[in-house]
């Protein structure tokens, strides 16, 4: 089974939170889309009704010593049985038609479409079915906001052209980028600039797929001077990017809109 899936780190956008929070200071680059090939988990475990089972636990081969835990542990995450045994949760062995590179979790990794990347356990070493919820460090102490576990990716649009800080010539300019959401397909991307003016809705390009980002683009004419361009995504479930960041202590899921600042020359 092969699926195009966008995976985004839960900490993408962390560096923009104020006051600052600990953790890798990701800007907007901790995201990517690939074609993943593998076996659906339910084809390996079966879907027989087992009322006593609540979760499936995935253990990676990587280990480390979290600073505030003080002992060596493996990276482990669980999924509710009903999610884990869905059609599209994969034990993947190929990425873009070739073996999965080690830096992307090969030779085997889990791929959980629509969820933040922490669920897609890399270097998969062991799968265990559980009768009670897992309470490990990376399940209960990390990847939570106010005690609530992270799940689906929140909607986001990112302008990739023009680049932030670019000088661009006058006349027609095409604004391009990508938008994605783990809740539903992207429905629209609205563009505006710093002069409080709507630039209109971008054209969504390419086919709609359940789990991959959509490219967007819009040709505009801007007056000479400084501009801050903003793209705001809304998905088919009606969820839109917030205009202001939602601060949390570990810096997760900051999908607030971000300006791309450019200077238009005459």
Q: Which residue has the tokens 């253990």?
A: 59
**What are the pLDDT digits (tens) for 102-128?**
999 999 999 999 999 999 999 999 999
Cis peptide before 58 (omega within 30 of 0): no
β-pair partners for 176: 161, 217
Class in CATH terms, 2-149? alpha beta
Strands ordered across the beta sheet of 172-180:
156-161, 172-180, 214-221, 203-205
Structure tokens at 74: 């493996």
The C-alpha atoms of residue 262 and residue 169 are separated, in whole angstroms, by 10
Query: Which residues are CB-contacts of 19 (< 8 A; sequence separation ≥ 6)?
Result: 247
Which residues lie closer than 8 Å to 237 by C-beta, 6 or more apart? 181, 183, 184
254 phi and psi angles, rounded to 5 deg? -85, 90
Q: Could you say which architecture CATH assigns to the domain 156-264?
A: Sandwich (2.60)
One pLDDT digit (tens) per residue for the chain, 266 residues: 999 999 999 999 999 999 999 999 999 999 999 999 999 999 998 866 577 899 999 999 999 999 888 899 999 999 999 999 999 999 999 999 999 999 999 999 999 999 999 999 999 999 999 999 999 999 999 999 999 999 999 999 999 999 999 999 988 899 999 999 999 999 999 999 987 689 999 999 999 999 999 999 999 999 999 999 999 999 999 999 999 999 999 999 999 999 999 999 98
pLDDT in tens, 185-220: 999 999 999 876 899 999 999 999 999 999 999 999
- Share the mean pLDDT of the chain: 96
User: In the beta sheet, which residues pair with residue 98?
Assistant: 95
Domain boundaries, the chain: 2-149, 156-264
Question: Could you check whether the bond before residue 30 is cis, i.e. omega within 30 degrees of 0?
Answer: no
Global pTM value:
0.95
Q: Report the b/e string of 123-156 with b at 16+ CB within 10 A.
A: bbeebebeeeebebebbeebbbbeeeebbbbbbb
Cα end-to-end distance, the chain, whole Å? 52
| Residues 255 and 241: beta-carbon distance below 8 Å | yes
CB atoms within 10 A of CB 86: 17
């Amino acid at each position: 089974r092969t699926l195009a899936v966008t995976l985004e780190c839960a900490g993408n956008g962390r560096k923009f939170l104020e006051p600052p929070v600990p953790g890798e200071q990701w800007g907007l680059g901790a995201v990517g889309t690939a074609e993943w090939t593998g076996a659906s988990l339910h084809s390996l475990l079966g879907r027989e009704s087992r009322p006593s089972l609540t979760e499936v636990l995935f253990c990676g081969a990587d280990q480390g010593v979290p600073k505030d835990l003080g002992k060596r542990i493996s990276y482990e995450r669980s999924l509710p049985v009903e999610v884990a045994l869905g059609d599209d949760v994969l034990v993947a062995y190929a990425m873009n038609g070739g073996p999965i590179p080690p830096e992307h979790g090969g030779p085997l990794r889990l791929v959980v479409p629509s969820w933040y990347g922490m669920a897609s356990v890399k270097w998969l070493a062991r799968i265990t079915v559980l009768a009670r919820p897992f309470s490990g460090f990376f399940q209960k102490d990390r990847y939570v906001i106010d005690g609530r576990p992270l799940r689906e990716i929140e909607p986001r649009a990112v302008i990739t052209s023009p680049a932030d800080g670019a000088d661009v010539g006058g006349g027609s300019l095409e604004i391009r980028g990508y938008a994605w959401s783990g809740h539903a397909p992207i429905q629209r991307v609205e563009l505006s600039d710093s002069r409080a003016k709507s630039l209109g809705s971008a054209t969504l390009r390419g086919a709609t797929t359940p789990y991959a980002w959509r490219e967007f683009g819009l040709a505009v004419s801007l007056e000479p001077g400084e501009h801050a361009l903003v793209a705001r995504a809304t998905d088919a479930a009606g969820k839109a990017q917030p205009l202001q960041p939602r601060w949390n202590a570990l810096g997760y899921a900051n999908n607030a809109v971000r300006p791309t600042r450019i200077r238009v020359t005459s």
